[in-house]
Amino acid sequence: MGIQYFSFQELCTVTALPSQTIIEIVDHGIIEPEGTDPETWLFNTQMVSVTRKALRLHNDLEIDWSGIALVISLLEELEEIRHENQQLKAQLNRFIVG
Amino acid sequence: MAFKDYYKILAVAEDADSKAIKTAYRKLARKYHPDVSEHKEAEEKFKEVTEAYEVLKDPEKRAQYDEYRKYGGRSSSQQDGSYSDTQFEGDFSDFFSSIFGADAGGAGQGQRQSYGFTSQQSYNQRGNDIETDMPIFLEDTLAESSKTISYQLPHTDANGHISEINRTLNVKIPAGVANGERIRLKGQGGQGIGGGANGDLYLRIRMVPHPLFDVEAHNLIITVSLAPWEAALGATIQVPTLSGKIKLTIPANSQTGQRLRIKGRGLVRKQGHGDLYAVLKVVMPDTTDDQIKELWQQLASSAAFDPREEWSK
């Protein structure tokens, strides 16, 4: 199957967002497509889901895009740390008796 | 249909001014936003809070609601009697719809991104994308595997009635998928309206925890229990991997916590394989008979070993 990519136009379609909003989201580094300009941009499925999350936060909590860039990077970090914590706990449990 | 006390939901007084209501809403919306909150009922709570705010921020709706609330929800003026339009599946509750009508939610409200299967109907609209969890065993990621997935799809008939139908699909899961990865199945989501394209189905890969192996990036970790004499003298043992057992040589004088690398027996990645690490754990036998005890005693008297040497410095 390989990695699945979306063009800029496709991302606009699946998220139902105007191109200007996507450009703004990319400008804030919330998602980082491959390619150098909108014509060559390639987005993966993860970026589609981050775009949707960004949009929900923007609409529901009235956060501006730079605030969202911060929130999303902190959320990602939190998720990584939770994941790591879970792994370490699981490994530790194999060493502790009873 | 339960009565909803919007004041209680926002934790504000009945005479709270609009500023206090806004502040209370913002605080709770941040707390329960499904993208941020770990609360297990976050989505429900968030919807409830949003609905309460939708009513209380609008003086007209608030007055209408106050009236309804005052008469303990028994006001007859707003009830349509039969309550037949239950096919409406919006972001707001039945309770909300019964007071303000099914179309009131979100009107003039800047479109709120929905979390469920809502659809704002207009001509030629693309169907909704649907995301669902796909549990995968570690063993399944070594090679391309075939899985059956069942999910629910909102279905709109010719009269605009929305119902949910069950769909079953056979899906090929590529080798080397990782936890959290999303696979897109184009056109398998909600149906488009008025000739619009169908939405997509996204499968979110969830790795099922394995009883033997822990995952660390693309490497696997297995904890190997050793008898004290195996650790002391070395041994050759059988170790399970995701694809059958292999022989592993334990060197003499091994320690608990030591990691032995077994190359290429980890998870499959886009490029190459990860490794399997055997983490050693020296364990004591549960019972000791007299003969064994004597052997331990011999060992104790002849081995010059102080495991707590660092304390006597």
- For B279, the enclosing helix (H) or strand (E) is strand B276-282
Instruction: Please tell me which of the candidates B112, B200, B216 has its beta carbon nearest to residue A87.
Output: B216
Predicted local confidence at residue B102, as pLDDT = 61
If one counts the domains in chain A, the total is 1
pLDDT at res. B74:
52
| pLDDT over 90 (residue B117) | no
**All domains of chain B, ordered by start, with CATH?**
6-100 (1.10.287.110), 130-207 (2.60.260.20), 213-287 (2.60.260.20)
Within 10 angstroms of residue A79's Cβ, the number of other Cβ atoms is 11
Neighbours of B40 (CB within 10 A): 8
In a domain, residue A63? The reply is yes
Q: List, for residues B45-99, the tens digit of each pLDDT value.
A: 999 999 999 999 999 999 988 888 887 655 444 444 333 333 333 467 778 877 7
- In B, which residues are within 8 Å of A59 by CB distance? 110-113
**Taking CB atoms and an 8 Å cutoff, what residues of chain A touch B35?**
53, 56-57, 75
**Element of type H or E holding B118:** none
Condensed to tens digits (0 to 9), the pLDDT of residues B192-251 reads 888 888 999 999 999 999 999 999 989 999 999 999 999 999 999 999 999 999 999 999
- Is A80 a domain residue? yes
The whole-angstrom separation of Cα B97 and Cα B103 is 8
Residue A15 counted as domain residue: yes
- Alpha helices in chain B, H assignment, sequence order: 6-10, 18-32, 42-56, 59-70, 94-100, 228-233, 290-302
- A93 touching chain B per CB within 8 A: no
Measured distance CA(B12)–CA(B110) in Å, rounded: 25
Residue A70 lies in a domain: yes
CATH number at residue A65: 1.10.1660.10
Q: B56 with B99: CB under 8 angstroms? A: no
pLDDT at B114: 41
State the residue range of the domain holding A22: 5-93
- Looking at the domain assignment, is residue A73 inside a domain? yes
- pLDDT of B157 strictly over 70: yes
**Residue A98 resides in a domain:** no
Contact B233, B251 (CB under 8 A): no
**B50 in contact with A at a CB cutoff of 8 Å?**
yes
Which residues pair with residue B125 across a beta bridge? B193
Output b/e per residue, B95-130; b: 16+ Cβ within 10 A: bbbbbbebebbbeeeeebbeeeebbeeeeebbbbbb
Backbone angles phi, psi at A81, to 5 degrees: -70, -40
Residue A57 in domain: yes
Series of mean pLDDT values for 10-residue runs along chain A (98 residues): 81 93 95 93 94 93 93 93 91 83
ipTM of the shown complex: 0.82
Size of interface A-B (CB pairs under 8 A): 74
Chain B nearest C-alpha distance from A2 (Å): 8
Q: Could you tell me the two tokens for A36? A: 């150098």
Is residue A24 a part of any domain in this protein?
A: yes
Verify whether the Cβ–Cβ distance B174 to A2 is below 8 Å: yes
Alpha carbons B47 and B25: distance in angstroms, whole number: 11
Task: Answer yes or no: do A55 and B113 touch at CB < 8 A.
Answer: yes
